[in-house]
Structure 1
Amino acid sequence: MANKSASLGLAGSAAPDPMTRIDGSPIQPAAVPSRLGLSVRAVMHAAFGRVATLLHLWRRRLAESSELRSLSDQELRDFGINRYEAEHAARQAFWRDYRGGI
């Protein structure tokens, strides 16, 4: 095994420093929220708030597509759409914003 690593040029070489780039220049650490005047708690609160809002939106879209599927043909006509258009809109992925003209 020593011969194989020597032939690859790995014998006697130290592990590279994880805080330097290949060219040897130092890697600057990412901005820490506390350095930006924000507490970690405030950043986490904002992140969880965005996730909760997104989950609420997705749940609402699922409920709307379920309700759209349950409408009668007469109710769909009242909205100015037919069964095919309603089914097409209801089949759209809930995580995508669908603006198909309905």
Structure 2
Amino acid sequence: MSHQRVYKLAFLPGVTEMGVNLSPSAEVIHFAAQDNNLCLWYIDRDDADGRKPRAFSIRGTGHDIEDTATYIDTAFLGAYVFHLFETTQENN
């Protein structure tokens, strides 16, 4: 029997890019600050096949964003506002 599970990824301080292998059905469900770190939560299946790298970027208000980036959510950390985007990865 397969199950879905909620996972959390924390961005280390100063890190603005993160790649993670996810199944095609994985869904990002939230982006917020927790314990003074920016985190994203996603749902994925334990036994999912076909995992592929997906890339995520954090941008502050007023910062440049790639034309192909897809907005996901906004998080507040103290006086700062951060925006999470999924970015496309080039296949070499």
Question: TM (normalized to structure 1)?
Answer: 0.19
- Structure showing greater radius of gyration is 1
More strand by percentage: 2
Greater share of residues in helix: 1
